[in-house]
Amino acid sequence: MTDRPKILVTQKVPDPAYSPLEAIGDVEANMEEGNIWPYEELLRRGPGHDYIYSLLTDNIDARFLEACAASTPSLKMVANMAVGFNNIDVETATRLRIAVSNTPGVLSDTTADLAFALLMATARRIPEAERFLRAGKYKGWGPLLFCGADVHGSTLGLIGAGRIGKLVARRSSGFDMKVLYYDVYRMSPEEEATYHMTYMPMEDVLPQSDFISVHTPYMPSTHHLISERELKMMKPTAILINTARGPIVDEKALVRALQSKTIAAAGLDVFENEPAVEPELLSMENVVLLPHIASASLKTRTLMATMASDNIVAHYKGERPPNIVNPEVLE
């Protein structure tokens, strides 16, 4: 192919991602770290590109895709630097013969690490205790000072048992935790034995678990999967952890559950209306809040970034992108 494609990179990504793209095409990139283009800016810049390298915070909707498909050159592919792709209207992309790719697999262990770290931090009240000490309030050891919840020997309930859920279960074995799980697809008995996990309906997992960790993908069927009804099923001492997607948990219902002591605490890396957070959560000491950093190790983010580039390069060369979401567009 002689024509160099036009490639738009919507946000600043790790440096190794750029050179493969620059080798095949003309790259326009948002190089200001932390700068997320508003939708109208994205809509202005997108048309006229062959490839768009997007991130989860970019709204790649039908209007955007149709504008890009109607331009010259027309859009051929959206490469999302994320495992999830609910920010992209895949149905419209497929109708317009636009390929969509993601970056699965590489972040599973890193995300599982963060999920377990968040569980530990929330259970043992680590951020709260650190704020107390830094504020100069620590006057000496006391028998009731920041007593939290034991992790070892407790029961972990997993809502979703895909790659990340299984890896969280593996980490829990070092703490002698009993692991219950609910998933739409039950594992084989052999796999359950490998990960020491016991399947139960969600209605049984919730009341029996000391910790509930959410690991389902986000889709219409999982929107507000954890809401008022489910929160009321949990123990009053239970701790909810969410490193999956914000809208899986009904954030307003969670606020009410925490205020009424329906559950004890929550650790959240994702939020229903990111980057906005329910204001009440910000003032609660029994909530640990992180800015969506589950995959934020330098090694993992670099692998994700180069994987997204590799998907674009493969498509440009007429090869099957390694992580294509809608392979029917290649037929």
Cite the active site residues.
245, 274, 292
Instruction: State the angle between helix axes of 163-172 and 108-123 in degrees (0 to 180), rounded to the nearest 10.
Output: 50
Of 163, 165, 164, nearest in space to 181 by CA:
165
Q: Determine contact, residues 253/231, Cβ cutoff 8 Å.
A: yes
293 burial (CB, 10 Å; 0-12 / 13-18 / 19+) is middle
Q: Are 256 and 230 in contact (CB under 8 A)?
A: no
CA distances from 261 to 199, 264, 283 (A): 28, 6, 15
CB 309 within 8 A of CB 21: yes
Query: What is the C-alpha separation between 29 and 17, in angstroms, rounded?
Result: 11
- Reduced to 3 states (helix: H, G, I; strand: E, B; else coil), residue 181 is strand
Q: In what order do the strands lie in the sheet with 99-101?
A: 26-29, 6-9, 51-54, 77-80, 99-101
Q: Are 26 and 7 in contact (CB under 8 A)?
A: yes
Between CA 26 and CA 96 the distance in angstroms is 23
295 close to 243: Cβ distance less than 8 angstroms? no
Scanning the structure block, which residue is given the tokens 């799980």? 181
- List, as one string, the DSSP characters of 81-106: SSS--TTB-HHHHHHTT-EEE---ST
